[in-house]
Amino acid sequence: MLDADFFRRWMTATAAAVDREAERLTALDSPIGDADHGSNLQRGFTAVAATLGKDAPDTPGAVLTLAGRQLISTVGGASGPLYGTLLRRTGKALGEAAEVSEEQLQEALRAGVEGVMTLGGAAPGDKTMIDALVPAVDALGDGFAAARAAADEGARATIPLQARKGRASYLGERSIGHQDPGATSAALLIAALDVASGVRGE
Ligand code: ADP
Ligand code: MG
């Protein structure tokens, strides 16, 4: 079972990964965006980690709801409300239980990803974070390492796609040949689940 401490570790592992990869995320956002994805998420997840260090909610749902609210209020770019919605919806779906199963997390994340699709209007194949999140949630039934591998594969699979949502879509065919920054950061978020589970190191 996964308790509030697991969810705090998930968020702090995400913050550490975003810190480490911020330059790469911003570099990916340079040819098909406005070169701010790394700094946007760094600001957001630094605030999330600080908030969770001060105020430690005692249920999984409350940890994710607080983290999502923090992202929405600190990240200016499109990714802030989208990741904020992902975490808030997932947290809401987890309810008030003190511990949740991996199956419950999978179903809650599915609800969170659906919330992102509703808010942003993106479907799989549109070259967004959805392309890493959907296969990750599908693979979560096979464990965190499987979800991590599926998210990485989903992020790499955005390279040949033409962007149909977000800033990159303004480039039309010129968006082809670049990995989507949001799909790349979504893979970091999913990898952090595996890190938090302690099965594998960073
Ligand atoms: P901005 O585009 O406002 O500068 P960021 O650079 O932080 O915001 O985030 C860009 C990422 O957000 C994209 O790489 C993409 O994955 C994701 N994104 C943008 N628009 C959407 C959308 N409508 N639905 C899902 N994801 C989106
Ligand atoms: Mg950007």
Query: How do the domains of the chain map onto residue ranges?
Result: 2-197
Which ligand 1 atom lies nearest to the CA of residue 34? Answer: 4
Tokens 């340079």 found at:
30
- SS3 assignment, position 6: helix
In 3D space, the residue among 189, 24, 174, 186 whose CA is nearest the CA of residue 117 turns out to be 186
Nearest to 45 by CA among 68, 29, 63: 68
Identify the pLDDT of residue 55. Answer: 85
- Start-to-end Cα distance in the chain: 22
Q: Whose CA is nearest to atom 7 of ligand 1?
A: 37
Ligand 1 contact, 154 CB (< 6 A): no
Classify 2-197 by CATH class.
mainly alpha
Q: Which ligand is located closest to the Cα atom of residue 184?
A: 1
Q: Which residue's structure tokens are 């940890």?
A: 63
Report the pLDDT value the prediction gives residue 202, as an integer from 0 to 100: 44
Taking the chain (202 residues) in runs of 10, the rounded mean pLDDT of each run is 97 98 98 97 98 94 98 95 98 98 98 98 98 98 97 98 97 97 98 86 44
**Could you tell me the CA-to-CA distances from 93 to 44, 96, 100, 111, 146 in Å, in that order?**
22, 9, 11, 7, 22
Sign of the Cα pseudo-torsion (59, 150, 184, 197, in order): positive
What is the per-residue pLDDT for 201? 44
Instruction: Give the pLDDT of residue 56.
Output: 85
pLDDT of residue 142: 97
Pocket of ligand 1 contains residue 86 by CB under 6 Å: no
Q: What number does the ligand 1 atom closest to the CA of 120 have?
A: 23
pLDDT of residue 200: 46
Say if CB 130 and CB 123 are below 8 A apart: yes
Say which residues have a Cβ less than 8 Å from residue 198's Cβ, sequence separation at least 6. none
